[in-house]
């Protein structure tokens, strides 16, 4: 019962902090949402470990080391009474100029004072672990953690880092504990707290901060980042309420001999007992300063080197862990693809004619061009694409009992074909697409009357196909009454509806239905998006096409009505506005621009960035194909399925 209460308290406490005093940068928030590698960094080393401006330069260099490994750095600090996760450069510079920022070294006991007085603070190891645990950051890189002080029997001095590590599910990557401490007693205390400890990249020898090895051993050792990531994965799967410590030895070229440092430390302790008379949190800075003086500054260089090396290792482990998490997500996504998507929409024969040369004139002349006949229709195209991706589908549509209809039904999988109504005395839908000599569309002409036979009656006759469907996809070829019938089924069975507008003239059609709020995804182009905005009275006097800032503002507004707004921008990529899944607040809407070359989880549980990567690659493949759906679809062996598309957050 206690553990259950503790988990509940942490969860509630985290939500409260996020809404009141937490400010997580957009970069870190997006990375966490997409399960990308994130590494937290402390800020006490900036505020109390190095002089200005070297402290800022070092902090930026450490962040860059994390980025080089493919991870996102999240420097933690307190600024003006807010807990910041992921400092910007201006914020780093503000904090680092300590004469102005006047920071307080912030551990657990200091948070209430710093926050309530709107002060600035550099988080210690303990303070950073608290923030990591509250914001779901798994990895934290630092120089060395605190521990049990020498002469503990007299001072009772134990660093707050240890109990914090014992009750927080965070993996700390450090060069062991500071060499000024009692390492054997520290390891014994960490064992009591249930903290997993392993040395990294060497045998089970526990490093001693400035030195690669102390006289103590660790229970375990790991040789590389992948092994460490697997341990973290197993630890988290058990939901253990304790941390992990990976002890990384300082690079050999920067090592200071253990016996040499131990001697200097003992001399500094004698000085502390004599003239200094310091206690509490002032002891460690004093001892480190004495070591720096005795080594003529060599210890500071070693300190910087080991911090950077730990950041590198943390980035490597975080990246491997991220890959393991994504792999699990992909496996889960595959196992969840048991239901059949239901597609309701157009099925027509496309006649594409491309102008061979010259310009298109409307003076009655004959234009010479190349004609191509291909099966088309938005609904049919989606059905074919999903089938080629290995997804089962049920396609509800109508075609005529004619030559064109037989050509079309030959392209529809047999399983899906049984829901396509063959209409006597009706012509199959046909569309003429005229392209200029560069492939740009000049105009379209279509006969779509057969689609009026996709009726509510046809939907109800096939209602059983909806029962286990994870998603219903519709296009605007079907009538409003048919849409309403679909929405009622979707609402009753709690199935999300994906809407492809198809044509600017009817883009807003489904939103005239009573139960349109079953629509959770829309994929309009810019013109269709503008039309939908007009329906919701969101359009302004200004033209928004071509202006990403105006477009993103309107997309954010529309996402308050429709959870996922995915605007296709042609050669400019795609703009996605969507509600964050972690909150019920309509104010928490992210807008991201993916240029051509995440939401957290999209259809079938895949991250947004993977979906966009596959989508953009598929669009490029389609451009090289004469058919609307490429012959060779991008199956899951294609690199796009493991590539995370890059985006620009739109504020």
Q: What is the CATH number of the domain that holds 301?
A: 3.40.1790.10
Paired tokens of 125: 């190891």
Domain assignment present for residue 493? The answer is no
pLDDT at 520: 92
Query: Could you confirm whether 153 is annotated as catalytic?
Result: no
Per mean pLDDT, which range of 154-168, 178-192, 609-623 is the poorest?
A: 609-623
- Give the side-chain half-sphere CA count within 13 A for 521: 17
* 2, pLDDT greater than 50: no
- Domain shared by 299 and 393, yes or no: no
Per mean pLDDT, which range of 226-230, 501-505, 562-566 is the poorest?
A: 501-505
Paired tokens of 112: 């209430």
- Domain shared by 127 and 211, yes or no: no
- Domain shared by 42 and 85, yes or no: yes
What strands lie across the sheet with 369-376, from one edge to the other? 369-376, 348-355, 429-435, 441-447
Domain assignment present for residue 538? The answer is yes
% of the chain exceeding 90 in pLDDT: 47
Active-site position among 178, 312, 520, 579: 178
* 263, pLDDT greater than 60: yes
- Domain shared by 290 and 344, yes or no: no
- Domain shared by 591 and 618, yes or no: yes
Per mean pLDDT, which range of 181-195, 226-240, 473-487, 570-584 is the poorest?
A: 570-584
Q: What is the CATH number of the domain that holds 446?
A: 3.40.1190.20
Of 278, 110, 275, 283, the closest CA to residue 181 belongs to: 283
Active-site position among 29, 36, 42, 600: 42
- Domain shared by 341 and 462, yes or no: yes
pLDDT at 619: 64
Strands 496-500 and 519-522: parallel
CB-based contact 97:344 (threshold 8 Å): no
| pLDDT 10s digits, 411-426 | 887 777 888 999 988 8
Domain assignment present for residue 629? The answer is yes
- Domain shared by 113 and 189, yes or no: no
- The stretch 208-215 carries a mean pLDDT of 88
Counted domains in the chain = 4
Place of tokens 């099925």: 347
- Domain shared by 568 and 617, yes or no: yes
The alpha carbon torsion through 24, 559, 610, 617 (nearest 10 deg) reads -130
- Domain shared by 438 and 564, yes or no: no
| Angle between helix 298-335 and helix 225-237 axes, rounded to 10 deg | 60
- How many residues does the structure list for the chain? 651
Domain assignment present for residue 513? The answer is no
Domain assignment present for residue 367? The answer is yes
* 1, pLDDT greater than 70: no
Domain assignment present for residue 477? The answer is no
| pLDDT 10s digits, 366-375 | 888 889 888 8
Paired tokens of 196: 């997993």
CB-based contact 530:544 (threshold 8 Å): yes
- The stretch 186-207 carries a mean pLDDT of 92
Domain final residue, candidates 85, 101, 134: 134
| pLDDT 10s digits, 497-514 | 999 998 889 999 999 999
Domain that holds residue 537: 523-651
Q: Residue 14 — pLDDT band, cuts 50, 70, 90?
A: very low
- Mean pLDDT is highest, among 241-255, 329-343, 607-621, for 241-255
Comparison of pLDDT for 100 and 550, the residue scoring more: 100
* Residues forming beta bridges with residue 141, ordered by sequence position: 41, 173
Query: Could you confirm whether 178 is annotated as catalytic?
Result: yes
Q: Residue 166 — pLDDT band, cuts 50, 70, 90?
A: very high
- Beta-carbon contacts of 603 under 8 Å, excluding residues fewer than 6 positions away, are 470, 471, 498, 521, 611
Q: How many CB atoms lie within 10 A of CB 560?
A: 15
- Domain shared by 104 and 87, yes or no: yes
Q: What is the Cα gyration radius of the chain?
A: 31
Q: Residue 50 — pLDDT band, cuts 50, 70, 90?
A: confident
DSSP for 229-274?
Answer: HHHHHHHHHTT-SS-EEEE-PPPGGG---HHHHHHHHHHHHHHIII
pLDDT at 581: 47
- Domain shared by 183 and 158, yes or no: yes
Domain final residue, candidates 94, 110, 134: 134
**What rounded mean pLDDT belongs to the chain?**
84
CB-based contact 92:98 (threshold 8 Å): no
Domain final residue, candidates 108, 134, 160: 134
pLDDT at 124: 95
pLDDT at 634: 58
Domain assignment present for residue 146? The answer is yes
- Domain shared by 173 and 304, yes or no: yes
Domain assignment present for residue 203? The answer is yes
CB-based contact 196:165 (threshold 8 Å): no
pLDDT at 630: 55
């Amino acid at each position: 019962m206690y553990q259950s209460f503790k988990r509940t308290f942490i969860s509630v406490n985290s939500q409260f902090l996020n809404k009141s005093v937490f400010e997580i940068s957009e970069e870190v928030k997006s990375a966490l949402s997409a399960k990308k590698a994130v590494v937290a960094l402390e800020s006490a080393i900036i505020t109390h470990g190095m002089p200005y401006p070297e402290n800022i330069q070092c902090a930026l260099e450490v962040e860059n080391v994390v980025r080089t490994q493919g991870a996102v750095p999240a420097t933690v600090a307190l600024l003006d009474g807010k807990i910041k996760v992921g400092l910007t450069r201006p914020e780093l510079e503000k904090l680092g100029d300590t004469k102005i920022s006047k920071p307080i070294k912030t551990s657990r006991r200091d948070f209430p004072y710093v926050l309530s007085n709107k002060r600035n603070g550099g988080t210690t190891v303990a303070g950073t672990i608290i923030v990591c645990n509250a914001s779901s950051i798994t990895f934290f890189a630092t120089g060395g953690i605190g521990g049990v002080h020498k002469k503990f029997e007299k001072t009772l001095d134990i660093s707050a880092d240890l109990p914090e590590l014992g009750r927080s599910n965070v993996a700390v990557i450090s060069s062991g504990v500071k060499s000024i401490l009692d390492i054997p007693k520290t390891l014994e205390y960490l064992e009591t707290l249930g903290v997993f400890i392993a040395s990294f990249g060497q045998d089970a020898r526990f490093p001693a901060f400035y030195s690669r090895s102390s006289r103590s051993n660790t229970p375990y050792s790991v040789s590389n980042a992948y092994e460490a990531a697997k341990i973290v994965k197993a630890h988290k799967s058990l939901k253990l309420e304790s941390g992990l410590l990976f002890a990384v030895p300082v690079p050999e070229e920067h090592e200071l001999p253990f016996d040499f440092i131990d001697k200097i430390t003992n001399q500094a302790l004698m000085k502390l007992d004599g003239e200094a008379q310091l206690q509490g949190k002032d002891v460690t800075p004093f001892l480190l300063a004495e070591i720096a003086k005795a080594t003529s500054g060599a210890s500071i260089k070693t300190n910087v080197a080991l911090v950077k090396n730990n950041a590198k290792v943390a980035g490597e482990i975080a990246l491997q862990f991220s890959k393991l998490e994504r792999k699990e997500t992909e496996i889960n996504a595959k196992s969840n693809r048991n239901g059949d998507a239901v597609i309701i929409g157009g099925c027509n024969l496309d006649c594409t004619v491309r102008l061979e040369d010259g310009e298109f004139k409307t003076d009655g002349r004959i234009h010479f061009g190349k004609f191509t006949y291909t099966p088309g229709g938005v609904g049919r195209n989606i059905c074919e694409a999903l089938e080629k991706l290995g997804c089962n589908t049920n396609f509800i549509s109508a075609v005529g009992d004619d030559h064109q209809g037989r050509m079309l039904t030959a392209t529809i999988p047999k399983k899906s074909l049984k829901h396509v109504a063959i209409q006597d005395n009706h012509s199959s839908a046909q569309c003429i697409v005229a392209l200029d000599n560069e492939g740009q569309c000049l105009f379209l002409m279509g006969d779509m009357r057969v689609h009026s036979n996709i009726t509510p009656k046809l939907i109800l006759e096939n209602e059983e196909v909806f029962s286990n469907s994870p998603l219903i996809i519709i296009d605007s070829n079907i009538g409003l009454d048919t849409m309403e019938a679909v929405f009622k089924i979707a609402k009753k069975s709690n199935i999300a509806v994906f809407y492809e507008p198809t044509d600017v003239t009817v883009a807003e059609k489904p939103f005239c239905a009573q139960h349109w709020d079953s629509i959770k995804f829309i994929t309009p182009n810019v013109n269709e998006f503008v039309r939908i905005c007009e329906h919701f009275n969101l359009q302004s006097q200004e033209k928004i096409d071509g202006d990403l800032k105006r477009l993103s503002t309107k997309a954010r507004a529309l996402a308050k009505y429709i959870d996922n707004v995915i605007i296709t921008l042609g050669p400019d990529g795609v703009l996605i506005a969507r509600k964050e899944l972690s909150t019920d607040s309509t104010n928490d809407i992210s807008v991201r621009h993916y240029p051509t070359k995440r939401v957290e989880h999209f259809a079938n549980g895949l991250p947004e960035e993977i979906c966009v990567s596959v989508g953009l690659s598929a669009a490029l493949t389609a451009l090289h194909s004469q058919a609307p759906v490429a012959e060779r679809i991008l199956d899951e062996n294609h690199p796009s399925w493991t590539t995370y598309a890059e985006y620009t957050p739109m504020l």
